[in-house]
Amino acid sequence: MNLSKAVEGYIVHKRSLGMAFRSDAVRLRAFVRAIGNCDMRFIKPVQVRQFLDGTGPVTYFWFSKYHTLTAFYRYAIARGYCSKSPLPINVPVKPEKFQPYIYTNRDMKRLIEAADSRHRHVWLLEPSTVRTLLLLLYGSGLRISEALHLRIADFDADAGVLTIRETKFFKSRFVPIGPDLARVLCDYMKRQWAGRTRTDATPLFGTHKGEPILRQTAELVFKRLREEAGVSRSKEARYQPRLHDFRHTFAVVRLVTWYREGKNVQRLLPHLSVYLGHGRLQDTQRYLTMTTELLKHASRCFEQYARPEVPHV
């Protein structure tokens, strides 16, 4: 069995089970390009290791590729496409766990001010579009892909509800938003689409030409905005703040608020999971650890402020 045919059959098999299987499909097709469309029986371990290692340091992406190939080879061996897996037995040590960036109110003020101070001729997007998109991500916890795929028909201004259609895990959901955020979206729509023909299929967020916004465009604009606003980790940090970190910020802020209000966070966690559109409760539970660490850090900062005479480690 040649590699390309086996990979495409595996992708079809996974999707027939109801899985989106997008990221894994991309990794598997990259594997075919790297190895070549050869007979699976003749793929050598050194070739697989070169694909896994790439040219940079070991990251979590190494393990993503490794787990994707492990599952693929289980499928291939079970069907007799090859007799054994060429994947390495010994795997490298995982890098330090990635920590999302949690935006503060001060960060948001800087980002909004930077967006409002720009002019359209030096932007790929209208400043008002950037501003509204950031406020939506910060105030709703949507994935950036969900926000960019919104259509005008998906926003019920009277009820203050967004309809997120056929997103990750093929799930749709309703996302209620507060009145302030709803007004921001209404004002943006009036400004963005004033004097233009629009239908229910018109994108809620568009370029100055009225075209849908690509994720790559949004990421590039945010990178420039973040640098101009001075919102960053230390220069030595491997990862800088991302658009997706607004989703983490939303979840952490909600959990911290519940803690401070004395709410039963464990009981409320499933509600947050549904709101965020997570496929599993475990995907939301990881925010609990992050929130606990954040609260400990906040407590230490407060104690240093309130009792500066006490030494702290």
Q: Active-site positions?
A: 143, 168, 244, 247, 278, 287
Tell me the C-alpha distance between 122 and 9, whole Å.
46
The DSSP call for residue 39 is B
Tell me the C-alpha distance between 38 and 25, whole Å.
18
Triad 275, 174, 166: Cα angle to 5°: 95
Tell me the C-alpha distance between 27 and 2, whole Å.
17
Going by C-alpha positions, the residue among 256, 248, 251 that lies closest to residue 271 is 251
Element (H, E) at 175: strand 173-176
Determine the length of the chain.
313
Cβ neighbourhood burial of 24 (10 Å; 0-12, 13-18, 19+): buried
